[in-house]
């Protein structure tokens, strides 16, 4: 009985509802829209010649080595032993340069800003600008000239002076974090980094002549090797090659780093017809504490337009 009453009530309400709909004005048609569903691009395989060259490079080196190459435009990557955090050495000059250009983009400096270099600015190893520093007047230069010298000549003094100009190592570390460039360490600067790697405590006299080499040679070899092994086992300037390539490549693709005049400053011989690639490698020769200079590898130019390497 309850069920029958309920059904009758429902039928009665339905008739009333239909009558009201019939008397109501017609509804306006709903607007049409098209939804585009993006389709993920198919992964592109890296060039086979490049894969073969990288594999041959790794097989031919007697020591720890990591190589990573990433195509910014096509998205492919080649990675061999790349998850190791290895020393960057002079490759870290890139981060100083990018911090300088980031400051320029923000209006915090100009490439025309004058800088005076004195003998107090000298560092160690490769510093050709030292020959231009004369007497008390020093050498009058600019931020832009130091940038060119640091990148195209790997001048340690030019790089360290720029580093101090932007606020020191913490300024570069802040840049790396703000731009989300990945797990990349930045060291304390040339003087402290090279001294610690050799087992020495920095002294200003090390910047002149062969004072650094003589002080290093006076150390017991066991001390030198121990200092070197501490450095390569946990480098303060360390980065895994894929993080290095992935960070710079992603930042380049996003356009978040150094918007002004990149090609003319970073790559004076940059060829816009060559597809953009980011290549990074690092290697460590076992038992070689005196070999802390950048090295180069032979990779076919047909397979890769440019490669930067760091070796210890």
Q: Which two tokens stand for residue 301?
A: 């130019």
pTM for this structure? 0.70
Tell me the percentage of the chain whose pLDDT exceeds 70: 65
Q: How does residue 43 score in pLDDT terms, banded at 50, 70 and 90?
A: confident
Contact between 291 and 311 under an 8 Å Cβ cutoff? The reply is yes
Task: Name the DSSP class of 171.
Answer: H
pLDDT computed for residue 214 by the predictor: 96
pLDDT higher than 90, residue 236: yes
Say if residues 80 and 66 touch (Cβ distance below 8 Å).
yes
Q: Average pLDDT of 120-137? A: 93
Give yes or no for a contact between 252 and 31, defined as CB atoms under 8 angstroms apart. Answer: no
**Closest CA relative to residue 109, chosen from 164, 56, 184:** 164
Tens digit of each residue's pLDDT (9 = 90 or more) over 245-303? 765 555 554 555 555 544 455 444 434 443 444 445 455 554 444 333 333 333 333 43
How much is the average pLDDT of 189-198?
Answer: 94
Q: What is the pLDDT of residue 274?
A: 37
- For 146, 217, 229, 291, the CA distances from 212, given in Å and listed in that order, are 24, 9, 19, 14
DSSP-assigned states of every residue in 123-167: -SS--GGGGG-BTTTBEEEEHHHHHHHHHHS--HHHHHHHHHHTT
Residue 176's nearest CA partner among 111, 288, 251 is 251
Q: Which pLDDT value is given to residue 48?
A: 92
Distance CA 170, CA 25 (A): 71
- Exposure string of 83-116, with b = 16+ CB inside 10 Å and e = fewer, is eebbbbbbbbbbbbbbbbbbbbeeeebebeeebe
pLDDT of residue 182: 83
Q: Phi, psi at residue 69, to the nearest 5°? A: -130, 135
For residues 208-228, give the mean pLDDT: 94
pLDDT at 11: 46
pLDDT tens figures, 88-123: 999 899 999 999 999 999 999 999 999 999 999 999
Mean pLDDT of the chain: 77
Residues 6+ apart with CB under 8 A from 282: 65, 66, 84, 86, 87, 88, 91, 239, 241, 309, 310, 311, 312
Q: According to the model, what pLDDT value does residue 310 have? A: 35
Instruction: Specify the higher pLDDT residue, 140 or 247.
Output: 140
| Residues 6+ positions from 174 with CB-CB distance below 8 Å | none
Instruction: Specify the pLDDT at position 270.
Output: 39
Q: Using CA atoms, how far apart are residues 165 and 168, in angstroms rounded to an integer?
A: 7
- DSSP letter at 25? P
Take residue 61 and report the two structure tokens written for it: 């080196």
Q: Which residue has the higher pLDDT, 128 or 274?
A: 128
Amino acid 79: pLDDT: 85
149 Cβ contact list (under 8 Å, min separation 6): 128, 129, 155, 158
* pLDDT at res. 72: 79
Instruction: Using the predicted structure, report yes or no on whether residue 145 has a pLDDT greater than 90.
Output: yes
Among 76-85, 123-132, 178-187, 247-256, which range has the highest average pLDDT? 123-132
Q: How confident is the model at residue 210 (pLDDT cuts 50, 70, 90)?
A: very high
- pLDDT given at position 294: 34
How far apart CA 182 and CA 97 sit, in angstroms, is: 17
Report residue 37's pLDDT band, with 50, 70 and 90 as the boundaries.
low
How much is the pLDDT for 312?
Answer: 31
DSSP state of 92: G
Q: State the pLDDT at residue 97.
A: 94
- 202 Cβ contact partners less than 8 Å away, ≥ 6 residues apart: 191, 192, 195
């Amino acid at each position: 009985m309850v069920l029958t009453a309920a059904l009758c009530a429902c039928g009665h309400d339905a008739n009333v509802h239909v009558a009201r709909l019939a008397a109501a004005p017609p509804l306006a048609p709903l607007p049409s829209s098209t939804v585009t569903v993006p389709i993920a691009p198919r992964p592109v395989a890296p060039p086979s010649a490049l894969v073969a060259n990288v594999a041959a490079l790794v097989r031919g080196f007697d020591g720890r080595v990591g190589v990573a190459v990433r195509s910014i435009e096509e998205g492919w990557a080649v990675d061999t032993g790349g998850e190791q955090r290895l020393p960057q050495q002079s490759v870290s000059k890139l981060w100083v340069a990018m911090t300088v250009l980031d400051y320029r983009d923000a209006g915090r400096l100009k490439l025309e800003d004058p800088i005076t270099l004195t003998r107090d600015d000298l560092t160690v190893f490769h510093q050709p600008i030292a020959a231009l520093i004369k007497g008390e007047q020093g050498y009058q230069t600019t931020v832009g000239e130091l940038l060119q010298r640091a990148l195209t000549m790997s001048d340690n003094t030019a790089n360290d002076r720029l580093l101090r100009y932007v606020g020191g190592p913490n300024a570069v570390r802040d840049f790396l974090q703000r731009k989300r460039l990945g797990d990349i360490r930045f060291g304390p600067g040339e003087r402290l980094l090279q001294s610690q790697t050799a087992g020495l405590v920095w002294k200003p006299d090390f910047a002149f002549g062969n004072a650094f080499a003589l002080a290093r040679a006076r150390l017991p070899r066991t001390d030198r090797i121990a200092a070197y092994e501490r450095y390569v086992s946990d480098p303060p300037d360390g980065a895994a090659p894929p993080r290095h390539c992935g960070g710079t490549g992603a930042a380049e693709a996003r356009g978040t780093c150094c918007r002004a005049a990149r090609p003319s400053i970073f790559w004076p011989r940059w060829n816009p017809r060559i597809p953009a690639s980011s290549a990074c490698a690092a290697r460590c020769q076992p038992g070689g504490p005196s070999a802390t200079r950048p090295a180069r590898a032979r990779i076919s130019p047909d397979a890769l337009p440019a490669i930067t390497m760091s070796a210890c």
